Chain A
Amino acid sequence: MSNIIFELKDVHYSYMGKFPALCGIDMTIRSGEKIAVIGANGTGKSTLLQLLDGLIFPDQGNMTAFGERLLEHSHDDEKAAHRFRKRVGLVFQNADIQLFCPSVREDIAFGPLQLGVAEKEVKRRILEIAQVLDIQHLLDRVPHQLSIGEKRRVAIASVLAIDPDVYLFDEPTAGLDPLTVRHIIDFIVTANQRGKTIITATHDLHIIGEIADTVYVFGRNKRIVSGGSSESVLNDNPLLELNNLIHIHRHQHDGQEHVHKHLPLEEH
Chain B
Amino acid sequence: MSKTLHKRSDFIKRSMLSALVFLKDATLSEEYANRKGFLQSLDPRIKTISLLAFLVTMISLKSAVLIGTLYGFCLILAFSSSIPIRHFLGRTLFFIPFFSLCIVLPTLFSTVTPGDPVCSFNVLGINGTLTRPGIDGALLFVVRIATSVSLVVLLSLTTRHSELLKVLRIFGIPYIFVLTVSMCYRYLYIFATMVENIFTAVKSRVGVVSHHRHGQNVVAWNIANTWNRTTQMSEEVYMAMLSRGYTGEPRLLSQFYATPKDWVWLLSSLIICAGLFYSGHIL
Q: Chain A interface secondary structure, helix, strand, loop or mixed? A: helix
Q: For the complex, is B30 an interface residue (Cβ under 8 Å from A)?
A: yes
Q: Is the CB of B243 within 8 A of A89?
A: yes
Contact among B162, B243, B252 for A90, CB-based, below 8 A: B243
Chain A 73-111 against B: per-residue CB contact (8 Å), 1 yes, 0 no? 001001001100110011010101110111101100111
Contact among B185, B189, B240, B246 for A92, CB-based, below 8 A: B240
> Which A residues are CB-close (under 8 A) to B252?
106, 109-110, 113
Known: A97-B236, A100-B183. A114 touches B190 (CB 8 A): no
Could you list some 6 contacts between A and B, CB below 8 A?
A85-B244, A100-B183, A102-B161, A114-B246, A114-B247, A119-B253
What residue of chain A has the Cβ atom nearest to residue B183's Cβ? Answer: A100
> Which A residues are CB-close (under 8 A) to B254?
119
Q: For the complex, is B7 an interface residue (Cβ under 8 Å from A)?
A: no
Q: Chain B interface secondary structure, helix, strand, loop or mixed? A: helix
Interface residues of A in 158-177 (CB under 8 A from B): 158-159, 162
What residue of chain B has the Cβ atom nearest to residue A143's Cβ? Answer: B186
Chain B 140-158 against A: per-residue CB contact (8 Å), 1 yes, 0 no? 0000000000000000000
Q: Is the CB of A85 within 8 A of B240?
A: no
Q: Number of residues in A with C-beta < 8 Å to the partner?
A: 38
What residue of chain A has the Cβ atom nearest to residue B187's Cβ? Answer: A100
Q: What are the 5 closest A-B residue pairs judged by CB atoms, nearest first?
A: A102-B162, A114-B245, A111-B244, A85-B245, A113-B251
Q: For the complex, is A142 an interface residue (Cβ under 8 Å from B)?
A: yes
Chain B 212-249 against A: per-residue CB contact (8 Å), 1 yes, 0 no? 00000000000000000000010011011111111100
Known: A100-B183, A105-B253, A119-B253. A55 touches B239 (CB 8 A): yes
Contact among B34, B161, B237 for A100, CB-based, below 8 A: B237
Q: Is the CB of A114 within 8 A of B243?
A: no
Cα separation A179 to B242 with both chains bound (whole Å): 31
Cα separation A55 to B244 with both chains bound (whole Å): 11
Chain A 38-72 against B: per-residue CB contact (8 Å), 1 yes, 0 no? 00000000000010010100000000000000000
Q: Is the CB of A85 within 8 A of B243?
A: yes
Q: Is the CB of B247 within 8 A of A78?
A: yes
What residue of chain B has the Cβ atom nearest to residue A53's Cβ? Answer: B243
Contact among A97, A119, A143 for B237, CB-based, below 8 A: A97
What residue of chain A has the Cβ atom nearest to residue B186's Cβ? Answer: A144
| A111 CB to nearest B CB, Å | 4
Q: Is the CB of A55 within 8 A of B251?
A: no
Q: For the complex, is B210 an interface residue (Cβ under 8 Å from A)?
A: no
Cα separation A119 to B253 with both chains bound (whole Å): 7
> Which A residues are CB-close (under 8 A) to B233?
97
> Which A residues are CB-close (under 8 A) to B190?
96, 144
Cα separation A86 to B245 with both chains bound (whole Å): 8
> Which B residues are CB-close (under 8 A) to A53?
243
Q: For the complex, is A145 an interface residue (Cβ under 8 Å from B)?
A: yes
> Which B residues are CB-close (under 8 A) to A115?
244-245
Q: For the complex, is B160 an interface residue (Cβ under 8 Å from A)?
A: yes
Q: Is the CB of A55 within 8 A of B242?
A: yes
Q: For the complex, is B250 an interface residue (Cβ under 8 Å from A)?
A: yes
Cα separation A32 to B207 with both chains bound (whole Å): 53
> Which A residues are CB-close (under 8 A) to B189?
144
Q: For the complex, is A188 an interface residue (Cβ under 8 Å from B)?
A: no
What residue of chain B has the Cβ atom nearest to residue A78's Cβ? Answer: B247
> Which B residues are CB-close (under 8 A) to A100?
183, 186, 237, 240-241
What residue of chain B has the Cβ atom nearest to residue A158's Cβ? Answer: B244
| B207 CB to nearest A CB, Å | 28
Known: A81-B245, A100-B183, A114-B246. A109 touches B236 (CB 8 A): no
Q: For the complex, is B29 an interface residue (Cβ under 8 Å from A)?
A: yes
> Which A residues are CB-close (under 8 A) to B251?
113-114
What residue of chain B has the Cβ atom nearest to residue A103's Cβ? Answer: B162
Q: For the complex, is B182 an interface residue (Cβ under 8 Å from A)?
A: yes
Q: For the complex, is A212 an interface residue (Cβ under 8 Å from B)?
A: no
> Which B residues are CB-close (under 8 A) to A75?
242
Q: For the complex, is B4 an interface residue (Cβ under 8 Å from A)?
A: no
Cα separation A6 to B95 with both chains bound (whole Å): 63
Q: A86-B245, A109-B252, A114-B247 are in contact. List 19 more A-B contacts (CB 8 A).
A: A50-B239, A55-B243, A75-B242, A85-B244, A92-B243, A98-B240, A100-B186, A102-B161, A102-B185, A102-B186, A103-B160, A110-B252, A114-B244, A115-B244, A115-B245, A119-B253, A142-B30, A142-B160, A144-B186
